[in-house]
Chains A and B, each alone.
Chain A
Amino acid sequence: MTEQTLSLPPAAVGRTARPRRNAWRAMSWAVFGMGILYFALPLIGMIEFSLRKRRGTYSLDAYTSVLTDPQFQATFAYSVVMSLITIVLGLALVLPTALWVRIRLPRLRPVIEFITLLPLVVPVIVIAFGYLRMFNTSSFLPMTGTVTGTNVLLAFGYATLALPYMYRAIDNGLRTLDVQTLTEAAQILGAGWFTIIFRVMLPNVFTALLSGAFLTFSIVLGEYVFAALLDRPAFGPYMIWTGGNKAYEPAALAVIAFAITWGCMGLIQLAGRLFPHTRAKR
């Protein structure tokens, strides 16, 4: 038996192996095609539906309606500003922390990672009620008593929600660098911490920072619970309200949100191309 198997000519082996390989390839393509359909069909359906506001013909009426709605403009602008504030807040919190943990406290990394994951484990509504209880008008720090105070509270809430994504993005960026040695190389050349962070680390994790920033942007743009409970005019509650009161506009809004997300992803790619050293690392 063994001898027979060994004496098979190479051509015979090829005859049995090739159809099997072709079958595998066909199966791979089939799975890939199904995946594409799974993701693309709802999108296509949604886009198609968003174009059917005018009876009998395709039109951009739903988009016009959304984009000219003053409430859309106000809530969208509010959320964009809030997301920018959240990004700055998140970066200011996460970048030095991640750097410090990598350089000085590597043993604390699991603890920090656990803390940054907590917002994924603790439901947003719990965090929101915790904030309301801690900072309501009758508390020691009545932040909800003023509009500015509530906005600040909302920004902190958003920064908490974005923490897992921001930390992971920056930490992954730092992982591609020999942070310890680069820091020491900069220090021995006379650089202080400001120079190390802004001239050495930040440019080298720029694409990672952008990923973190755009993820934060997407989260803030779609966030509902915090904004609704703190009664702020954000884009998330507006989307929910539109969904409950209009037919075609929610679909148009969803398409706009997708377009913004894809635009952000495109910007990350573009940023990678603009910085030659980051392109080389990939």
Chain B
Amino acid sequence: MAYLTITHLEKSFGTTRVVRDFNLAVEKGEFISLLGPSGCGKTTVLRLVAGFEMPSAGSIQIDGRDVTGLRTTQRNIGMVFQAYALFPNLTVAQNVGFGLKVTGVARAEIDARVAEMLRLIGLPDLGGRYPFQLSGGQQQRVALARALAPKPRVLLLDEPLSALDAKIRVSLRQEIRQIQQQLGITTIFVTHDQEEALSMSDRVVVMNGGVAEQIGAPFEIYNRPATPFVASFVGSHTAFDALVVDPGTGTVTLGGAQVTLGQPMSGKAGSMVRLALRPEAAHLGRVAGCETVLDGRIAQVNFMGAIIRLTAMVGDTALTLDTFNRPDTPPPPVGSAVEISVAARDFITLGAS
């Protein structure tokens, strides 16, 4: 049985349904990310788990116990907030020990646990400082230590990296993941940054309009998006409309060429289907193993360092493709005619268009 189980969770504010029939089973020690655009309901789910909001329907179970009706103070959950939320009047050590102190833990035990937590986050000598004397990254690490100090059953992270600059964000996300794995704590992480979600999580829940559109491992979410929304929100892609020729073999006509996708599709012969192609699945020139070759003309060249993102017009469709930067091979000039190779298996079927 899963460690954290969310069943048919619903939340409405007035007439607006913010979370709709949300179901999720999280294993002990698993790192789950709730990913979605602003207003998709991901933070509301987190707040419902924390007990800051009461659900309109549904239940939340932790370790086999129904916590739906419990107050926040009774749930033994740790949480890290986007705005750090450190208590300004308390030192780092007092902040970290706050949760232990309010639950009446002995002083010596608090001191030992605080020292352990400060070592864990790599700030063993900053216990006497006040939050305003720390950088944003340090403050967020202290917030993490404070959340972990009382040994919570579940750790909730509400966009903890959003307020930090890019470089610290990358290093801190690795640190958070490392600490989470070291402690084996069940974690729910809310983010709107797909890179964070894909790089840190065991599984990702992609949310849209209060609904979990897809739940799966990052590899699965990226490569086999279940809905057009997931395909468009996670990563970028080029969408094509293709004519279904044989739904049994997944044969379609695309840009005048017949392509066999190798997997059956739901549409009837003669109907239109929408296909998507990731930028890294399209290759410049003829490539062995890529049975589909499209003719295009380079419309845009974006040099991004390690990767060069090209936009080529294939008929009326602007197709995006990524190539690795090689110092001895400059990118094709804008306006040049190119051949683009695609393996049929790399097309993602998004459904009827």
Contact = CB atoms under 8 A, between A and B. Distances in A.
A188 interface: yes
Given A186-B98, A188-B79, A195-B102, A181 B89 contact: no
Nearest to B76: A190
B303 interface: no
Contacts of A192: 73, 102
Contacts of B78: 188
Interface string B102-124: 11000000000000000000000
Interface residues of B, number: 27
Interface in A163-220: 177-178, 181-182, 184-192, 195, 199-200, 203-204
B88 A191 contact: no
A275 B85 contact: no
Interface in B184-214: none
A126 interface: no
Contact of A185 (B87, B103, B130): B87
B323 interface: no
Contacts of B98: 186, 189, 191
Which among A189, A195, A204, A277 has the greatest number of chain B C-beta atoms within 10 A?
Answer: A189
Contact of A182 (B77, B87, B132, B147): B87
Given A204-B88, A275-B89, A281-B132, A185 B81 contact: yes
Which among B79, B102, B146, B147 has the greatest number of chain A C-beta atoms within 10 A?
Answer: B102
Contacts of B50: 184, 188
A190 B52 contact: no
B83 interface: yes
Contact of B73 (A178, A181, A187, A199): A187
B72 to A, nearest CB: 5
Interface residues of A, number: 24
Contact of B89 (A184, A190, A191, A203): A203
Contacts of A200: 87, 89
Contacts of A191: 73, 98, 102
A110 interface: no
Contacts, number: 72
A112 B79 CA distance: 32
A200 B147 CA distance: 16
A276 interface: yes
B83 A178 contact: yes
Interface string B137-161: 0000000001100100000000000
B41 interface: no
Contacts of A276: 130
Interface string B34-75: 000000000000000011100000000000000000001101
A7 B88 CA distance: 56
Contacts of B225: none
A106 to B, nearest CB: 14
A20 B192 CA distance: 54
Contacts of B79: 184-185, 188
Given A186-B98, A277-B130, A181 B83 contact: yes
B99 interface: yes
B81 A184 contact: yes
Contacts of A204: 87-89
A26 to B, nearest CB: 40
Given A184-B52, A188-B50, A277 B89 contact: yes
A169 B252 CA distance: 71
Contacts of A188: 50-51, 72-73, 75, 77-79, 147
Nearest to A280: B132
A277 B73 CA distance: 27
Contact of B150 (A181, A186, A189, A280): A189
B85 A190 contact: no
Contacts of A277: 88-89, 130-132
Interface string B269-295: 000000000000000000000000000
Given A181-B83, A188-B77, A190-B99, 17 more contacts: A177-B88, A182-B87, A184-B81, A185-B81, A185-B87, A186-B102, A188-B50, A188-B72, A188-B147, A190-B73, A199-B87, A203-B89, A204-B89, A278-B89, A280-B88, A280-B130, A281-B132
26 contacts: A178-B83, A178-B85, A181-B85, A182-B87, A184-B52, A184-B79, A184-B85, A185-B85, A186-B98, A186-B102, A187-B73, A189-B98, A189-B147, A189-B150, A190-B73, A190-B99, A190-B103, A191-B73, A191-B102, A192-B73, A195-B102, A199-B87, A200-B87, A204-B87, A275-B89, A276-B130
Interface of B: 50-52, 72-73, 75, 77-79, 81, 83, 85-89, 98-99, 102-103, 130-133, 146-147, 150
